[in-house]
Amino acid sequence: MKSARISVPTTAALLLGLTTVIGPGASGSYAAPSDTPLPLAHFARLVVDAPHGHLFFSGGAGTDGILVTDLDGGHPTTIGDEPGATGLALSADGSTLYAALPGQDAISVISTEKLTESARLSTGTGTRPDSLAVAGGTLWFGYGTAGAGGIGSVDGTGAVTLQQDPDGWTAPPMLATTPTPSGALAAAAQTGGTSAVVTYRAEDGALTRQAAKELPVPDLSDIALTADGTHLAVPTVHGSTAGRYRTSDLAVDGRFADGVYGKAVAVAADGTLATGSHSLVTFPEAGEGEYTEYVWARDLDSAPHGLAWAPDGSRVYGVAVDASGGTPTLHIATAPETAPVTLYGKATTPLAPGEAYSFVVSPASGLALGAGQSLLPGTVRITRYDDADPDGVLVPDPVTTPARIPVDFFGSYRVDGTAPSTGGLSFRVEYSGGGAYGPAARPFDVPVAKYAPAMALTAPATAARAGALTVTGRLTWPHPQVRTGTVHVAKTDAAHPSGYPAGTASVAADGTFAFHDTPQVGGTNTYAFTYDGGTSYLPVTASAKVQVSRATPALTVTANAKSYRSGTTAKVTAHLGTTYDSRTVTLYAQPAGAPRTQLRSGKVDAHGNLTASYKITRNTVLSAAFTGDYRYAPRTVTTTATVTPTTRTQVQWPVSTTRIGSTTYRVFYKSEPTMGFDVQVTPRQSGGCTTVYVEHYQSGSWHQVATKSCVALYGDGWYGYSRSLKLFTSNDRYRVRAHYTPPAKGAQTGSTWTAWTYLTVRPGSPR
């Protein structure tokens, strides 16, 4: 495969990515004409006849003529009756085109002026000549079939000689010679996983072997000799990519400026090489890099033997085919020995008006600098444009920096200046070209616009009222800033809800500033800092909040009772102590299970009191709220007014009453089965319960003898308790009462006791 390396333009773009690279693409374009489809079913060989203005194309087996076009690939015509022509070669004087006709066992001799065949030379039955080359004044041809081949010759009289290499070949060899007449000749043939290669000297119609070797090329498709005949170029897709072999011994001898990769290779008279694969690449014999590269359409690839140079090196002709070897397409690469130059510009951005800058332009090319070069040959002109110089002013002496690999492959040119206070800034860079590099020119727009620096603030979370506090800040720019603009401070507090100007803060050289204050108003104090940007930057604002302490006011709320019967009107009183500039209090009531309602809001009287009335129907939280003022904090206090439920009791089945001392007793007789004690609680609450206690008087005091614990009331609010009269001692005294307990959650009333009910049980039955 072709050796992987980062191209110089790509590397330059990556390096420039550390700052802003201005503008896409390259200038200095060397656009070639559009590709030209060739009227051939297949392609075999290509020859350039510049003196007569012809391109000759053979199509191989299945074709019947040789295609002829002008040097731009236009005006096609055909030399007919040349069936299956493959190899093509021009005579040393260019007057004759030789065409190999394998199927005819012949070589056709064609006039390049008249474009007609003048002779057809038989090479012998079954020879199948294929590859042609003119070297040492003799026409040489490779011939044969799979398993047997050789090299033959045709002298000036048309006489054909076979087996010019007595060692023979196991396959028909392909031949190559130098781009200008010489006695150098090379031959190669695929021999399985390698390729057999032999170099010769051709003199007086005979061949002398120089070197023979098996090369690690498993996909032989083309060969070429360098202009001086000292090296052989062998392209490959799958084998070694060195591709540069000495003809004297066929040893690897370094590399060309680029790898010989692909299926086709051609050498110009001055030694420049062209290779073809998925792209057509031209590069010098020595050095590093390439001149030009043209990438074929995705479905095309270079054809074997599909490259040829114009004799003066001004053009390279390339033929590509599809995967089946069809649809031959011609591409003409102009200026193939001139490397295009790309101009990359960079500037530190964002750039604000009045800000210092450095604009750097760096050339890039696919061809590396030569030995001893530190800058591209030629001159670079940089013109600056802005509102003051709309027609441009030439920068007299850009600062040059020599090439520094891998930082900068071609050197760079720097312009230092100050951004205009208004309008835009642009440059036009013009490179004259020089040596192997083409000219280039390109404009660059440098963004100039106000931008906002970043602002960060540091402030205490809390502070004492009337105490000193400091808020500090810092402005930061993407790069060293211009000292311009002021920081303005606005303050918002309870006394100034819309805010007010509080002063300015000077900015130090490092972007820091500080604001000192002694807040007189408690609560949230907000400090808003605005940097106005001056003449060069956009404004930026940040704010900080400080909670300033306030005194806690004395505040109470009371009711005229702790407990009420449902429906009773309560008197609620709030008392406010010392404050600064607000004496407003609000009274609220929130009955159990209901939302809070406002009873009254207003200023307290001269004694600090505010009263309101409220009808109590259930447990109620009463509250008083003071919203706070500049020096005293908000405060809310509460108290709870409870509702005492109403109870009723009645005794079931007493016979009569009697008085013992001052107490009335219900009288029961043992002849009755039970006594009953009923309790009703109003209002009834789901979840409340009643406990009944029975006590016996003995030994001078009351003693509990029975309990019915926490039973739920019936749906109508009653609960009925009964006890067998057999459990009572005759003629003794007893009493019974109940206690109501409200539900644990959502109680609408408090708890309560019923009064005692007294009773006695007599033996027997009433009369």
| Residue 19 pLDDT > 70 | no
pLDDT score of 715: 85
DSSP string of 476-520, one letter each residue: E-SSSPP----EEEEEEETTEEEEEEEEEEPPPTTSEEEEEE---
The reported pTM is: 0.65
- Position 297: which residue type? A
Q: What is the rounded end-to-end Cα distance, in angstroms, of the chain?
A: 134
Task: Map tokens 């930061």 to a residue.
Answer: 476
pLDDT score of 240: 59
pLDDT score of 717: 86
DSSP string of 666-682, one letter each residue: EEEETTSSEEEEEEEEE
Instruction: Label residues 496-531 b or e (16+ Cβ within 10 Å = b).
Output: eeeeeebeebebeeebebebebebebbbebebbbbb
| Mean pLDDT, residues 613-640 taken together | 96
pLDDT score of 352: 87
Least confidently predicted of 208-217, 226-235, 680-689, 694-703: 680-689
Separation of alpha carbons 308 and 48, rounded Å? 7
Task: Look up residue 267 and give its two tokens.
Answer: 């050498």
Task: Map tokens 């009643």 to a residue.
Answer: 690
Question: Are the C-beta atoms of 202 and 182 separated by less than 8 Å?
Answer: no
Top pLDDT among 510 and 36 is at 36
Beta bridge partners of 563: 642
Q: CA-CA-CA-CA torsion for 91, 94, 100, 105, nearest 10 degrees?
A: -60
**Among 127, 203, 133, 139, which residue's Cα sits nearest to residue 169?**
127
Separation of alpha carbons 114 and 411, rounded Å? 54
Question: Are the C-beta atoms of 66 and 115 separated by less than 8 Å?
Answer: no
Beta bridge partners of 572: 559, 612
Question: Are the C-beta atoms of 107 and 154 separated by less than 8 Å?
Answer: yes
Separation of alpha carbons 691 and 712, rounded Å? 9
3-state secondary structure of 11: helix
Q: Is 18 left (phi over 0), alpha (psi -120 to 50) or beta?
A: alpha
pLDDT score of 766: 86
The string of pLDDT tens digits covering residues 538-562 is: 899 999 999 999 999 999 999 999 9
DSSP string of 154-167, one letter each residue: E-TT--EE--SSTT
3-state secondary structure of 579: coil
The string of pLDDT tens digits covering residues 91-150 is: 999 999 999 999 999 999 999 999 999 999 999 999 999 999 999 999 999 999 988 999
pLDDT score of 480: 67
Give the H or E element holding residue 10.
helix 8-16
The string of pLDDT tens digits covering residues 575-608 is: 999 999 999 999 999 999 899 999 999 999 999 9
Separation of alpha carbons 9 and 367, rounded Å? 9
Question: Are the C-beta atoms of 75 and 38 separated by less than 8 Å?
Answer: no
DSSP string of 370-419, one letter each residue: PTT-SS-SS-EEEEEE-SS-TT-EE-S-PEEE--BTTTBSS-EEEEEEE-
pLDDT score of 510: 87
User: What is the strand order of the sheet 231-233 is part of?
Assistant: 224-225, 231-233, 244-246
pLDDT score of 242: 72
3-state secondary structure of 27: coil
Percent of the chain at pLDDT > 70 equals: 95
| Residue 9 pLDDT > 60 | no
pLDDT score of 24: 38
pLDDT score of 28: 35
**Among 540, 527, 519, which residue's Cα sits nearest to residue 499?**
527
| Mean pLDDT, residues 732-754 taken together | 94
| Mean pLDDT, residues 609-631 taken together | 96
The band of 481, judged by pLDDT with boundaries at 50, 70 and 90, is low
| Mean pLDDT, residues 491-501 taken together | 96
| Residue 609 pLDDT > 70 | yes
Task: Map tokens 């070897």 to a residue.
Answer: 325
The band of 730, judged by pLDDT with boundaries at 50, 70 and 90, is very high
| Mean pLDDT, residues 435-446 taken together | 95
pLDDT score of 355: 86
| Residue 528 pLDDT > 90 | yes
